[in-house]
Amino acid sequence: MTLSLQRRRYFIAFLFVLPALLNFAVFRYIPIGLAAQASLYDYSLLGGFGAFTGWKNYIRVFEDDLFWTSLWVSVKYALMKVPLQVVLALLLAMFVSREVRGMGIIRTIIFIPVVTSLVVGAMLWSMMYNKDLGLFQSLLEIVGIGHTGFLSSSILALPAIVFMMVWKEVGFSTIIFVAGLKGIPLMFYDAASIDGANRFQQFFHITLPLLKPVTLFIVVTQTISAMQVFVPIFVMTQGGPFFSTNAIVYYIYQNGFAYNDMGYASAMSFFVLAVLVTVSYFQFKALKGEVEY
C-alpha cells in the first residue's frame, strides 16, 4: 500500500523527532515513573525495593521540620535571585540592543558566564569570597572594612550565592530580552514620540506591556531553575552555615545519596514538583498576556 504525500511527510517528520522522543522517554519519563514507584516503597540504592510503605513517605514530609526549613531556603533564594536577575537582564538588554560599534563584544562578555562551567565558576567565586585572601575582602579593606566571612555567615552566605548565580545566568535572560526588544515594531515608538511621550512613558506604556510574554517565559523558567539550585551549594557551602543555605534539592540529595533513603527523597521530589507546578500556574495567571500587532 502506497502512502500519500502528506503521510510520507508526516512519517519523515516523525523520524526526525524520534531521537528527541526517545531521549525524553529514556532519560525523563521513565525515571519519573520509577521515582513515583520508589516513593511508595522503602527503597535504597544499595538494597533496592523493600517493603511497600504506601503514603508513609509523603506523610513524613509534613512531619519533617528540616524539609520545611530547606524549602524556605529555596523560596528565599528564588525571591532574591529572580527579581534581581530579571531587572538586571532587562537593563542590560536595553543597553546592548543598540546598534553601535563594539556592542557585539559587550554582548559576548555578558554571555561568557552562561557557557562557563558552573562547578568551575563556583570554585572561583569561593576563592574570591575567602575572608582572608579573597578579591572581595581585598576590596573591602580599601574602604576600611575588616574580615568578612561571606560563606561562613548565616546572613551573608545565601545572598553571596545569589550574587554569583545572577552573574552566571543573567546573560541568558539578557539574550531573551534582546530578542523580545527586537520584535517590537518601531512604529509604536514613532507614534508615541509624535504624541509627545518621553522615554520613560514609552518604556512603561510600550516596552513593558509588549515584553510581557517574554517576561513570563523568563520569570517562570528562572523560578523553576532557582528552586532547583544545587551545584553552587554543594561546591561552596555544603548547606551551611547552620542550614542557612541548605536548599531543598540539596536536602533531597542528602537523603537519597548520603543517608541512602531514596524512597523518602523521591517523595520529597514529587512534593517539590507539586509546589513548582502551583507556583508556575499562578505566575501564568499573573503575567499572561497576548500581544497583537
- Write down the pLDDT at residue 293: 40
d(CA 136, CA 272): 35
> What residue type is 51 in one-letter code?
A
- Write down the pLDDT at residue 3: 63
Q: Which three cell numbers stand for residue 210?
A: 509588549
- Write down the pLDDT at residue 195: 87
- Write down the pLDDT at residue 207: 92
Instruction: Say if pTM beats, i.e. exceeds, 0.95.
Output: no
Q: How far is the CA of 120 from the CAs of 5, 8, 96, 113, 124, in angstroms? A: 51, 48, 27, 11, 6
Angle between helix 118-128 and 135-142 (nearest 10)? 30
Contact 239, 233 (CB under 8 A): yes
Domains of the chain: 57-287 (1.10.3720.10)
What's the first-to-final CA gap in the chain, in angstroms? 47
- Write down the pLDDT at residue 148: 80
Query: Which residues are CB-contacts of 266 (< 8 A; sequence separation ≥ 6)?
Result: 35, 36, 38, 39, 43, 57, 256
Buried b / exposed e along 257-280 (16+ C-beta atoms within 10 A): eeeebbbbbbbbbbbbeeeeeebe
Contact 268, 61 (CB under 8 A): yes
> What are the per-10-residue average pLDDT scores of the chain (293 residues)?
74 89 89 92 87 93 95 97 97 90 88 94 94 86 82 94 96 94 90 89 91 93 95 95 95 94 95 94 77 41
